[in-house]
Amino acid sequence: MLGLIFNLSLFAQDGYQLSGTVFDGSNMPVPGVNVIIDKTTTGTATDFDGNFQLEVSPGDVLNFSYLGYVSKSVTITNQTRLDIVMQEDTSELDEVVVVGYGTRKKSDITGSVSSVKTEELTAYPTSNAEQALQGRAAGVVVQSNNGGEPGAPINIKVRGNTSIGASSGPLVVVDGFVGASMPQADDIASMEVLKDASATAIYGSRGSGGVILVTTKKGKSGRLNVEINTTYSTQNTANRLDLLNADEFAQYQQSFNPAYVQGTEDMDWQDEIYTTGNISNTQASFSGGSDKINFYSSVNYFTQDGIIVNSGFEKFTFLNNVDAQVTDKLKLGMNLFGSRSTKDGVATQSSGSDAIGNVNGGGDDVVSLAMRFTPDRGIYDSNGNFTQNSVGDGIENPWAVANEIINETKSDNFRSNLYASYDILENLNFKTTFGFSTTNETAGYFKPQTFQLSTGGASIANLRRTNILSENYLTYNLELGKGNLTALGGYSYQKVTNERFSASTQELLSDSFLWYNLAAGHVETRRVTSSWSESEIQSLFGRINYDWDDKYLITGTVRRDGASNFAENNKYAVFPSGAIGWKISNENFLKDSNSISNLKFRASYGLTGNQAIDPYQSLAILGVTPSTANSTDATVSVAQEANPDLKWETSYQTNIGLDLGMYNNRINFSFDYYNIDTKDLLLEATTTPAYSGATDLQVFQNVGELNNRGFEIVLSTRNIVTDDFTWTTDFNWSTNKNKVVKLVNGADIIDSAAPGYFSGKDTYILREGEAVGLFWGHEYTGVYQGGAVPEGSALKGSYQEAGDPLFQDVNGDGNIDNNDQQIIGDPNPDWNFGFTNTFRYKNIDLNIFFQGSHGGEILNLTNVQLFNGDSNALTDVLDAWTPENSTSNIPSNKTRDREISSRFVEDGSYVRLKNLSIGYTFPQDLVEKIGMDNLRLSVSGQNLLTFTNYSGLDPEVSYFGSGGGDTTSGNVVQGHDFGNYPTIRSFSLSLNLKF
């Protein structure tokens, strides 16, 4: 009786000491297991022998957790000892990965697939998820088409450029909608990048550039969940050029032009165009549901004021997902997405002409104007007009270009996707989807009459695109002894329609109209264009997955596509692939290993295609030349010859991979080798000498071949795991080597990506046996010291004095001309990498993300201009060659021809601290008192440090100007730098609330 009373009094107290041991499935003690009382921060960790002690009370719930093991919860009754068995967590291997038209366990994947975590996509504020992908997946290169410009499009390449004349970008599939625009990063539940033919062949003719599969978040059964994320960032230029001030500029000019008279001002035009920018990004989401229906809804508002005055971007986005289990067999779902954006653009990336037809030789972008314009002139002259450059070419005032020109683009996007999934039998499912998307985009441009060198005017352009997609497929699952068979077969139809309209005029009666009254322009300057196009693709596809005894894996895929873009003789093509996998770690000789948790060999081979050219490229096309005055008529002529045999580009892809997990997958390593031979390249070539009275017509032909090969390494480690502290590392590294195998008649393709006012100077070459887009120019050999010219070198043109530049005389004729041009550099990097470390100490977390590239070179066209003598210059010119400074490698100061030479080719390697963030999650007991589930505050910085030897503004260059052209595809023009919108350094404050 006394003992009973004693025990009752013991348990009636607030707490008592509980002890126990944690074992694994093999009855071995597990050290370092976190033992925490639920909804508190009270807890402990098991010692080296798996033992723990903790003061508890009846009714407490103990949570046992440890990386590599399945978490476990136990409710305390009156026990004084508690022994726990924790099972190894194979969830990482059993994690479901989205593949085309289905899902697979990660451990059963036979192709090359990279998964990007949600927390990686949301690590720092971006206007779209494409930006957040940079450095996160091996073999995936992400770059803005224009530096840090608000709303700039993103260029993504998966395993290099697989084309020259057609797009090499990946296919984006969002919630099953092929060709969709990317949602906000906070709405993404998972993102997979399919890289080899085994993974991408299910998308056939659109899979050669890789496939990015995005699945957005969905609701779960239970109570309503509300989450709010808000971020505010301040932004500045990460770098500036060291330009001459007014006194230095006058000294510089007078060294070769003694008559130059210095102006009265001292301007740094970079100060006039750059400002402090900011980002505000707020998202609210609502999710919940029941056993029968669930939903996820979100709204997002993003606004950015750029670091160049009057540049900005604003975007409103909504997403709504609803899934309903109508019966045990029938499930219905709906996905709705919409956005409205407004981009206020400032002219950057000099193209040589503006939207209203002024051809200005590259004087239209504010960044290059600010570096070229003389510093001894103010914004206005004595008459109140905008000042003009005092030397060299006539160029517009940079302040005027930044502040007076209005360039606005409004875009509305809407996408809906409906599905029905029906279980015909227990192991046979039918799914049908119907999707519709529409894009309406209007771009307005206005230039007032206040400019001195070009005519004012206005233009408006409109694009309306509709996209209809219908897909239907069956999925069959069958157990065959020790094996499992999954078979899929389906049909897809997609139609894309584009309607375009544009109008422009000059010499408006008033500057009050913007682009809303083009009839007020001069009649002879009015231009109107319009177009309509439609393309269709219909497909049959199938896939078989078979795994036997959880050891041997086989995947076979085939797709037959028919596309209207191609000629009548080659409308259809078949794209097959096959892959095998061997789970070596499940073999008897390895399955009991204490060190190897997972070891899998993968190999695949297959064909994918590329049909990413504009419609009607196989047909004869008539071109219209509009009238230029009231008294003239429009004319029609043949613009393109027909090619009835035009067909798909086809990539023949081989991939060999190895996946290794060690020590309960605390270390995970993946290795891939790939080889891609792309044949029947779509290239424009000159046609027959005479075709219906026309000459030198261009037509797409299948005449080229390209090779890409490389290695990819991914390493993820859980370095330290203790009760209070964890440290994890993610590292990816990839290399890509490309080679032009075949071109039209074996002839070189040499062209220019320099600004138009460089007078057509060639800058790059495509040559059989060489890498894509190599730099082309003269080899600089130093400064001429006078006297005899060094052997193997020569002087160019009229520049024959001491101090002039020397170049390699390739043909030995003593003169430097086009015959002495040669390959002078390679923009293709040797390798790229991403390196992330995440530290967590109690409620504090720290994330450090480095990203970089090595081996790629840059053609610094900015320096070509700034060492030319007819504009402002870098302070380096103060150390140029003179008779007293004859050891300098910088030629003497004078106005010369703009040379494309190896002198301006630089190493573009860099390592960048892409993101550094530190966050604090408030204790759960405190958060619950104020009615929340979670409260987290974080501060972060982006692009804080860049380690590089490149002398320009930023080594991540993306200049695409080409004599007024546009080469945004980036297949050929790479590594050129001129007039880019600068890269941004940001500091951000973020708040996460969950209810």
Q: Quick one: pLDDT at residue 631? A: 58
Q: Provide the residue type at 848 as one letter.
A: I
The CA radius of gyration of the chain, in Å to the nearest whole number, is 32
Extract the tokens encoding 394.
Answer: 């006539």
Distance CA 252, CA 238 (A): 28
CA-to-CA separations, 57 to 14, 161, 509, 925, in angstroms, rounded: 6, 64, 85, 17
Q: 924 and 40 in contact (C-beta within 8 Å)?
A: yes
More confident residue, 969 or 184: 184
Mean predicted confidence (pLDDT) in 171-184: 91
Q: Residue 559, CB half-sphere, CA atoms under 13 Å: how many?
A: 28
Mean predicted confidence (pLDDT) in 135-141: 90
More confident residue, 193 or 221: 193
Q: Residue 775, CB half-sphere, CA atoms under 13 Å: how many?
A: 28
Residue 968 has pLDDT above 90, yes or no: no
Backbone dihedral angles phi then psi of residue 928, each to the nearest 5 degrees? -65, -30
Q: Quick one: pLDDT at residue 12? A: 42
Mean predicted confidence (pLDDT) in 212-228: 90
Confidence band, pLDDT 50/70/90 cuts, at residue 961: low
Residue 362 has pLDDT above 60, yes or no: no
Q: Quick one: pLDDT at residue 92? A: 53
Domains in the chain, start-ordered, CATH in brackets? 2-89 (2.60.40.1120), 92-218 (2.170.130.10), 224-548 (no CATH), 749-994 (no CATH)
Q: 362 and 352 in contact (C-beta within 8 Å)?
A: yes
Burial of 973 (0-12, 13-18, 19+ CB in 10 A): buried
Q: Please give the full DSSP string across 803-827, using - where no structure is assigned.
A: TSEEEE-SS-SS--SGGG-EEEE--
Residue 13 has pLDDT above 60, yes or no: no
Q: 778 and 824 in contact (C-beta within 8 Å)?
A: yes
Buried/exposed 256-265: b ≥16 CB within 10 Å, e otherwise:
eeeebebbee
State CA 245 to chain mean position distance. 37
Residue 688 has pLDDT above 80, yes or no: no
Extract the tokens encoding 83.
Answer: 């022994």
> What is the three-state SS of 524-581?
HHCEEEEEEEEEEEEEEEEEEEEEECCCEEEEEEEEEEEECCCCHHHCEEEEEEEEEE
Distance CA 736, CA 656 (A): 15
Model-level pTM? 0.87
More confident residue, 512 or 42: 512
> What is the three-state SS of 266-289?
CCCHHHHHECCEEEEEEEEEEEEE
Q: Please give the full DSSP string across 216-279, using - where no structure is assigned.
A: E----SEEEEEEEEEEEEEEEES----B--HHHHHHHHHTT-TT----S----HHHHHB--EEE
**pLDDT of 543-580, one tens digit each?**
999 999 999 999 999 999 998 887 778 888 899 999 99
Confidence band, pLDDT 50/70/90 cuts, at residue 584: very high
Q: Quick one: pLDDT at residue 882? A: 95
Extract the tokens encoding 384.
Answer: 């109140």
**E strand residue ranges, 722-762:** 725-742, 749-751
Distance CA 608, CA 606 (A): 7
**Residues 6+ away with beta carbon under 8 Å from 94:** 105, 106, 107
**pLDDT of 854-865, one tens digit each?**
999 999 999 999
Distance CA 605, CA 676 (A): 10
Distance CA 784, CA 814 (A): 14
Extract the tokens encoding 22.
Answer: 């944690």
Please enumerate, as own/partner, the contacts of 625-631 that have beta carbons within 8 Å and a separation of 24 or more.
Answer: 626/527, 626/528, 626/529, 628/524, 629/523, 629/524, 630/523, 630/524
Residue 902 has pLDDT above 60, yes or no: yes
Residue 155 has pLDDT above 90, yes or no: no
Buried/exposed 183-193: b ≥16 CB within 10 Å, e otherwise:
bbbbbbebbbb
Distance CA 602, CA 689 (A): 51
Q: Quick one: pLDDT at residue 986? A: 94
Q: Residue 640, CB half-sphere, CA atoms under 13 Å: how many?
A: 17
Phi-psi group of 205: left, alpha or beta (phi > 0 → left; psi -120 to 50 → alpha; rest → beta): alpha
Residue 962 has pLDDT above 50, yes or no: no
Task: Determine the number of helices (DSSP H) and then strands (DSSP E) in the chain.
Answer: 11, 52
Extract the tokens encoding 432.
Answer: 């049908």
Pairing type for strands 572-583 and 16-23 reads unpaired
Q: Quick one: pLDDT at residue 963? A: 41
Percent of the chain with pLDDT over 70: 93
Q: Is the four-CA dihedral 190, 194, 199, 200 of positive or negative sign?
A: positive
To the nearest whole number, what is the mean pLDDT of the chain?
A: 88
Q: Quick one: pLDDT at residue 758? A: 81
Q: Quick one: pLDDT at residue 248? A: 97
Distance CA 693, CA 687 (A): 12
Mean predicted confidence (pLDDT) in 815-842: 95
Q: Please, which residues bridge with residue 680 across strands?
A: none
Mean predicted confidence (pLDDT) in 269-292: 94
Find, among 594, 726, 723, the residue nearest to 46 by Cα. Answer: 723
Distance CA 835, CA 4 (A): 61
Q: Is the four-CA dihedral 862, 866, 870, 873 of positive or negative sign?
A: positive
Q: Name the strand (E) or helix (H) holding 367.
A: helix 366-372
Percent of the chain with pLDDT over 90: 59
Q: Please, which residues bridge with residue 434 across strands?
A: 418, 470
**pLDDT of 284-330, one tens digit each?**
999 998 888 999 999 999 999 999 999 999 999 999 999 999 999 99
Distance CA 830, CA 736 (A): 7
CA-to-CA separations, 397 to 388, 861, 862, 875, 978, in angstroms, rounded: 6, 21, 18, 22, 18
